[in-house]
Chains A and B, each alone.
Chain A
């Protein structure tokens, strides 16, 4: 699904990613952990194609296709989804309208007709039921006045609507209380399938109690310094990031 080879990236001439290698297969969940400033969010932004990051070396493949030169929207059309750590507000644009635009732009890029309104409604109903989202919520302006939990649930709702091949969840647990965390994690679990893959970026182990990863990678100083199974997350939690820092 996702294959990253020797990825180097910098922002304003400061190198942040220093040779990342990562293989994620369909059906798998990978967790990327690491201390603040290790490059976790940079990695997710670079995969999504954010322009202010300059890829200086290496390659990113999605299903065998090099997506490194593609615009962010083109990557999205190919099935890359990023759940934002800080989802932005767009006043006056309802969640429904936003999703309708997003879905139809993707369809347009694939040479398809716009989705008929009744199909769109059906999809919205189906996904909001799946994630137990009150449909009143969908007519509110995107993220405007949303609580932290609502914002993250909205991200997962969008993921459900867009059905991506690769979903990157960037610090989805930050700012959530334990109930909200459970709801969001349940949503992600419902969306998992053998055809898609999930990369969970997190600082803490607690999210991984709910979204159980197949692999855990530790990012430090722009490199993956340790990889293992889910037990690595517990080890990290116990020993703290100083353990990693002292070894590198």
Chain B
């Protein structure tokens, strides 16, 4: 994929669009390519943001200009040309297609395998839907229930306008503008994303899913999410979707910030299924994400992720355990197939006393892919009795893939207890033959073995999501053996 440039991708996508007959007239509301202060001002202006927000973006941009793209991750890719990207495009108001017949049959086939209903299929593929559709009414009831509890769940753009005091107070407090190259870029140009606030003592009665948020389509390549759980509250948040996301943007740099105040709990689950590129490793999304949560006293944050998509993934959902007795958890399944590359893991920063963290990482590599776990467990000088348990398991399929583990441990407190376990195994011909002999065909046997391997993490996902994720694992590894 080294020779494959963004320009070529663009050309390919243009042809593809033409092929499927949904080439739309160029939106008059699209910015020229390139990034500078004027573009950022124009972007902020377009989104009708207050002055402080514009300044915040500019500050981030100035920091970003001084930064260099990091190279320490175990991934290789052609660096994006940041001046060749358009940083604002008005959300498409027109549906992409008029009927399902126009949608890529391969995509529909995948929808079918995932058991997605026709209405949902239409919504996901961007097909015009009838006025009355189940999910719309679901979303309406959904909003009503939340409002009754005082829960705010809206787009970040809306939050900046409607709840500036909350956004101003928390935005950038966990992932500062200057945190890293991609976070700085995101801070400067983030297009949209989600905002969620759970008031004191409120237990959010349902899983909050971006999926149900109306007008969620087209959040763009620089997504920004901010979740604030006030004292003693609880929320379970689902991000992403098992349906394949074919996005025309090659580069995705999202930032997610979680804030769990005293005694609060946030459960954040992600299923990531961006386009991984084709079998030869061409195309595919670069997914460079910064996700971090802050735990105050007795608070808890759990990250659960199932990563199957993207050509290149760079992502370390982390917890800053600032408050005493706070708890951080990270459960991850990362699947790479064909030429995919993933460098993912977590950081657990123990600052408070009696803080506890658990890391369970399952990496599955197939084809010619490279799958790396990178994790940091850091115990601060004041973190008396901090505990960490890490387990990193890798499963290999075939002889051309790679699994790597980079655990970093830094402890400044002698009372800390840190455990790390790691295993690497390979799906053996003997295992497959054993299954075959019991009447289980090879594809199904692989799925069974992979699901068994991933079980500890799948079990952490909300029920419905877990079933979908299981099917997704099967599909992601289809054709990887044989």
Contacts and interface: CB of A to CB of B under 8 A. Distances in A.
B70 interface: no
Nearest to A87: B434
B420 interface: no
B455 A92 contact: yes
A50 B435 CA distance: 12
A73 B440 contact: yes
A48 B453 CA distance: 27
A105 interface: yes
Given A84-B434, A87-B434, A109 B448 contact: no
A13 to B, nearest CB: 19
Contacts of B433: 50-51, 72
Q: Secondary structure of the A side of the interface?
A: mixed
B319 to A, nearest CB: 26
A88 B430 contact: yes
Nearest to A50: B433
Given A106-B439, A162-B439, A101 B448 contact: yes
Interface string A26-64: 000000000000000000000011111000000000000
Interface residues of B, number: 23
Contacts of A84: 434, 437
A98 interface: yes
A77 B428 contact: no
A80 B433 CA distance: 13
A70 B438 CA distance: 14
A51 B481 CA distance: 14
Contact of A93 (B429, B436, B437, B451): B451
Interface residues of A, number: 33
Given A88-B428, A88-B430, A93 B449 contact: yes
A199 to B, nearest CB: 14
Contacts of B442: 73
B105 interface: no
Given A90-B452, A91-B452, A82 B431 contact: no
A196 interface: no
The residue in A50, A80, A93, A97 that gathers the most chain B C-beta atoms within 10 A of its C-beta is A93
Contacts of A52: 429
A172 interface: no
B436 A76 contact: yes
Interface string B255-288: 0000000000000000000000000000000000
B352 to A, nearest CB: 34
Contact of B440 (A81, A89, A105, A141): A105
Interface string B400-439: 0000000000000000000000000000111101111111
Given A101-B444, A101-B448, A141-B452, A90 B431 contact: yes
B438 A162 contact: yes
A101 B452 contact: no
A71 interface: yes
A102 interface: yes
B150 interface: no
Contacts of A101: 440, 444, 448
Contact of B438 (A49, A98, A109, A141): A98
A73 B441 contact: yes
Interface in B442-482: 442, 444, 448-449, 451-456
B469 to A, nearest CB: 15
Given A88-B430, A101-B444, A72 B453 contact: no
B436 A73 contact: yes
Given A88-B430, A88-B431, A90-B431, A72 B454 contact: no
Contact of B441 (A88, A92, A105): A105
A202 interface: no
Contact of B452 (A87, A88, A92, A109): A92
A71 B441 CA distance: 9
A72 B437 contact: yes
A48 B437 contact: yes
A52 B433 CA distance: 10
Contacts of A48: 437
A128 interface: no
A105 B442 CA distance: 11
A48 B434 CA distance: 10
Contacts of B453: 91-92
A96 interface: no
A81 B439 CA distance: 9
A158 B452 contact: no
Given A90-B431, A101-B444, A76 B449 contact: no
B454 A92 contact: yes
B437 A90 contact: no
Contacts of A106: 439
A158 B434 CA distance: 12
A218 B438 CA distance: 28
Contacts of B441: 71, 73, 105
A109 B441 CA distance: 10
Nearest to A83: B437
Nearest to A94: B452
Contacts of A158: 438
A93 B454 CA distance: 10
B436 A72 contact: yes
19 contacts: A49-B437, A72-B433, A73-B437, A73-B439, A76-B438, A76-B439, A82-B437, A87-B434, A88-B434, A90-B431, A90-B449, A91-B452, A92-B452, A92-B455, A92-B456, A93-B451, A101-B440, A102-B440, A106-B439
Given A92-B454, A105-B440, 16 more contacts: A49-B437, A51-B433, A71-B436, A72-B436, A72-B437, A73-B439, A76-B436, A77-B439, A87-B434, A89-B431, A90-B435, A97-B448, A98-B438, A98-B448, A101-B448, A105-B444
Interface of A: 48-52, 71-73, 76-77, 80-82, 84, 87-93, 97-98, 101-103, 105-106, 109, 141-142, 158, 162
The 7 closest A-B pairs by CB, nearest first: A92-B452, A93-B452, A76-B439, A72-B436, A102-B438, A92-B455, A106-B439
